[in-house]
Structures are given as structure tokens and as C-alpha cells.
Amino acid sequence: MAVVYKRVLLKVSGEALAGEKGAGFDENVIASICSGIAKAYHAGTQIGIVVGGGNFWRGRSSGKMDRMDADKIGMLATVMNALALKDALRQAGVPAVVMTSAVMPQVAETFTSDKAIAALESGKVVVFGGGTGNPIFSTDTASALRALEISADIMLKATMVDGVYDKDPHRYPDAVRYDTLTFTRVLDERLAVMDMTAATLCRDNGLPILVFDLADPENIARAVAGENVGTLVRE
């Protein structure tokens, strides 16, 4: 399989790792996702991954918790998920390393763009944990930032739907899927691609995004081959 994209940043939600359990890890689901990543890797694409933490933590558990502390808990959840993905990738025969935004040497390497690029070029998948290292910012924004820092050709956003629609396809059977969109339209119409900070960052730096369905992990390999598997957002 020939690849169109030499280097990609894959965003995987934490919820995806939980499968039908809804929380924690579903090892069979993680193994399936990693098999799709492995296929893209063996096709010759360098892969960085940002993983969310929603299978363990989504915002504040109550309105009383300080926002900064709640977001720090969420960042730690993404580190747990990054370690789980790294282990599953290694079991699938793919060399992988975790890099975190916060210094935790007993757990993982500390992220720098130079170290991440060197690891990618040496043949490793790099899994980024800890988000941006700052509260307030989402893992969508972390994905856009890391994609730019490693000079990715595209950001692949794996979701639970097969692209971007004009309205919620789970609620409206007449919802229409877009094959392509511009960032300007996404921002003007506030379409459900990612948060506005991340979308603006991608637009201003010319980073395209492909939104696709992770229910079939084979879509990861199809995406790096340039196949039409979702909605492509670009200017």
C-alpha cells in the first residue's frame, strides 16, 4: 500500500479505549485500534498519537472542584492512556515511546519537538501524554500543537462518526455528511469538528484535518493512503 502522508498526528479519544464498557480499558478494543495503527506504520507512515482521557475523567466531578485541579486530573488520565497504547503497540510488534508534557522521568520521556522527531525518524511511534501541559486547553488543541511541532503532513481525528455532518446524524436521519470543508466554514458555522482554538490553530498554520470513523481501525491505514474515509478540512 502506497502512502500519501509521510508523517501524521493521530488523535484518539479516551472514550474509544473503553469500548462498550464506557470507562477504563477494553483490551480487545485497544488491540484492534493498535492493529490499525500497525498497518499504517508498516506501510511507511511516521505516526504521532495524542490520546484523550475521557474514559477516566471528563471535567469536574462536581461544580465545587477547582477548574485547574480538574484539568490536571484529566492530563494525568491521558498519561495512563498513553502508556496503555504504547504497551499494546509493542505487543503488536510496533516500537513505541511515550512522551509527556510534564516532567515525570519514572513514567516516560519529557516531550521536546527535537526528541519526538528523532524518535519518529528512528522508526518509533510516539504517543503524547499530558495534553499541552496546561489547564484549560483541550486534547484537540494538544493534537494541533503536537502536529505542528513534529511537522506532520495532516492531523487525523478518529471519532465515533464517519465524518462531519451539517447536524447530529444520531438525532437527524436526514443529516448530510461533508466530503470536504474549509476551516472558515467550520469556524463560521461552528461545525462539530473540534474546539475553535484547535481549528483556528490548524487554519492559521495550514494544517489539514481528516475526521473519520475509528469503529473500523482499518480506516487509519486507508487515511494515510489518501482514501476518502471521512471529511477533509482545509483552506
DSSP run (H or E) holding 97: strand 96-100
- Alpha carbon distance 131, 135 (integer Å): 9
* Grid cell for residue 43: 506501510
Sheet (strand 109-110) strand order = 109-110, 96-100, 125-129, 46-51, 7-12, 154-159, 209-213, 230-233, 180-181
Is 103 annotated as a binding-site member? no
Is 44 annotated as a binding-site member? no
Is 53 annotated as a binding-site member? yes
Please report, for residues 12, 177, 185, the alpha-carbon distance to residue 199 in angstroms, rounded to integers and kept in the order given. 17, 19, 11
- Number of Cβ within 10 Å of residue 179's Cβ equals 10
Is 54 annotated as a binding-site member? yes
Is 226 annotated as a binding-site member? no
Is 135 annotated as a binding-site member? yes
The torsion angle over the Cα atoms of residues 206, 212, 214 and 215, rounded to 10 degrees, is: 180
Is 164 annotated as a binding-site member? no
Is 95 annotated as a binding-site member? no
Is 230 annotated as a binding-site member? no
Is 101 annotated as a binding-site member? no
Is 35 annotated as a binding-site member? no
- Alpha carbon distance 104, 13 (integer Å): 22
Is 139 annotated as a binding-site member? yes
Is 163 annotated as a binding-site member? no
Is 136 annotated as a binding-site member? yes
Is 133 annotated as a binding-site member? yes
Is 159 annotated as a binding-site member? yes
- Alpha carbon distance 125, 88 (integer Å): 12
Tell me which residue has cell 470507562.
23
Is 22 annotated as a binding-site member? no
Annotated binding site for UMP: 53, 71, 132-139
Annotated binding site: 11-14, 53-54, 58, 71, 132-139, 159, 165, 168
Annotated binding site for ATP: 11-14, 54, 58, 159, 165, 168
